Amino acid sequence: MRIRDLLSKEAVNLQANPKNKDEAINILVDMLSHTDCICDAERFRRAVFDRERKGSTGLGEGVAIPHAKSAGVLKPGLAAMVVSEGVDFDSLDGKKANLFFLIASPHKASDAHIDVLARLSTLLIDESFRNSLIAAKSVDEFLYLVDKAEGVEIEHQQEALSKEKNKEENHKPVRYDLVAVTACPAGLSHTYMAAEALEHCALEMGVSIKVEADGAAGNRNRLLPEDIANAKAVIVAADRMVDMDRFIGKPLVRTGIISGIRTPDQLIARALDPACQIYKPGSMNESSTFAMRLYRHLMSGLTYIMPLAATAGILSAIARQDLFSATTLGLFLDSIGYSIGTLLFPVLSAFISFSIAGRMALVAGFTGGVMADMADAGVIGAVVNGFVGGGVGYISAAFGQRFLKGHDAMFALLVYPLLGALGTTVIAQFITNLPAEFIDAHLENILLHANKYFLVIIGAILGGMMSADMGGPCNKIAYACGVLLLADCLPESGPGSQIMAAVMAGGMIPPISAGVAAILARKLFTRHEKNIAFATIAKGLFFITEGVLPYLVFSPLRMRSACIISSACAGALSMWYGCGLCAPHGGVFIIPLAEKPFSYVLSLVIASSLGSALFIILRLGQKRFD
């Protein structure tokens, strides 16, 4: 299979003129939706935007490769676009992007398809190839240039395979100065571009290297034990977990996939530096900032308590309904909800610790959560003790590796968990629980006895944050506050449930408002926006805030302001009426179990009406201005 098999004439645009990043992505998706590789364009579009929020695919040097796996893709496909004036795509080098390739991949991509994408990523490393594509005068010339460059690349690959085969036949072992692993979450372009960048840079520096590309089709060019043993050092450029135990005892540089693409020379220099750190199990090798590492560890714990919080809250809320409150079934459901609720703090702490130091810290983390629960230190105590457990687990493992000289495996089952539990218990009992209990109690007291207007302001802020960046830091912080405070009061109903209600209302309003506006004022919206109006409303009702993204392409700042104002209104009204939710997700499905459900519905109706009016007014004003 060749690149041309995935790239049709209909999916190439050499004269596009998008005004911003979102519009560029939408143009690419729309082009690909006219081919036979897409079965659900909106589902694929959502997947592309979701991937983009995790990190920009603007690779620099004028190139952007947005991509996504989605059930809305029938078979692999490509779309290409040239923007002569360039468009700001949040690229790594801060420059505008001129050359775009959109990659559509089904969930189960074939090996042949991955080979093609790897080949495309390799070709785009070449500056002259990129410039020739940007300067192409016609679609036929564009495709010819791709075919020509791919033919040369295939010849090079075949020549390299032939040389490798000859080496194997002569039984001459190959020794590499460096070995490396590249891996990105999707396992598509970034994985292979980083591998190619490392190989090219090593060749220029006169360093031999073998790179394992851990992509969507599995490990390519897998590192053998003898490759690792004979190498001087290891480079791991990955944004997800890879098998690290095989590198124990080797000098190792651990970084993100983007560094592998942008600064391969620096990584190679660091790996060959005699001062390069030796890799040990449990080592903190992340290259991101300290604050970002703390945030990732907290999010790891949050991920695991969400299903527990939803189950405990819903079961207890059902048990409190008039139909079940005085029955044996109600008592049974409430007891299950209460039992699950008691696991929230230990699970939260345990997986924060696990994210920090792996299995060595799991028991320490569980212990920290139990101590927080016993001391009434609340969710703040559970979070703090989770970090304490991770630190104790890391120190215990480091101590064993240093003084037991590789014979510490026998201690992993009993001694490390026991040391972690005891160390965390002592620290929690005498240091962390007391201030955490004080802060948690006062926070709950403030929320319970605060002036209603103060609560309205909190609701407005959190609701507005849910629409500020759609999955960015503001959105995640607001949602984390809602989930953590909800967990603090479950399985009972408390002030945290009101915060969660305000947060969810803020997230539901934007797509509902946009969809209603597109139905009421059809002349102000594009055909595509009108076609997806009802689906967008449904997404809003199910608490899928990103459903509004297609409507933000048209004047993003103005439309986003409508989202923020209406979301803030929803959060404020929810707090004004004292509404509360029992689960961190679900949208309309959990409204019947809410405190004051009719008031909550009224809040949503008022806020969505305001949002729809703002969408129409701003669209009308923009149309007149244009």
Query: Which residues does residue 77 pair with via DSSP β-bridges, in sequence order?
Result: 104
Strands 97-105 and 77-87: antiparallel
The conformation of residue 287, written as its DSSP 8-state character, comes to: -
Query: What is the rounded CA–CA span in Å between residue 217 and residue 111?
Result: 6
Could you tell me the sign of the dihedral formed by the alpha carbons of 38, 41, 43, 44, in that order? Answer: positive
Q: Name the nearest CA neighbour of 545 among 594, 593, 508.
A: 508
3-class SS of residue 164: helix
Residues annotated as part of the active site: 67, 184
Neighbours of 449 (CB within 10 A): 8
Query: What is the rounded CA–CA span in Å between residue 274 and residue 23?
Result: 48
- Quote the tokens at residue 506: 């803020």
The beta-carbon contacts of 520-529 under 8 Å, at least 24 apart in sequence, are 520/612, 520/616, 521/616, 521/619, 521/620, 524/616, 524/619, 524/620, 524/623, 525/551, 525/619, 526/554, 528/30
CA distances from 44 to 26, 105, 115, 551 (A): 11, 9, 22, 16
- Quote the tokens at residue 59: 């690779």
Question: Nearest 5 degrees, angle CA 98-CA 102-CA 107?
Answer: 160
3-state class percentages of the chain: helix first, strand second, coil last, to nearest 5 = 65, 10, 25
Are 300 and 350 contacting, i.e. CB atoms less than 8 angstroms apart? Answer: no
Task: Work out the angle between the directed axes of helices 556-577 and 452-468 (0-180°, nearest 10).
Answer: 150
Query: What is the rounded CA–CA span in Å between residue 612 and residue 515?
Result: 8
The residue whose two tokens read 């948690």 is: 440
Which residues have C-beta within 8 Å of that of residue 569, sequence separation ≥ 6?
460, 463, 509, 606, 607, 610, 611
Query: What is the rounded CA–CA span in Å between residue 612 and residue 514?
Result: 6
Q: Name the nearest CA neighbour of 373 among 398, 336, 405, 341.
A: 341
The torsion defined by the Cα of 153, 154, 160 and 163, in degrees rounded to 10, comes to -140
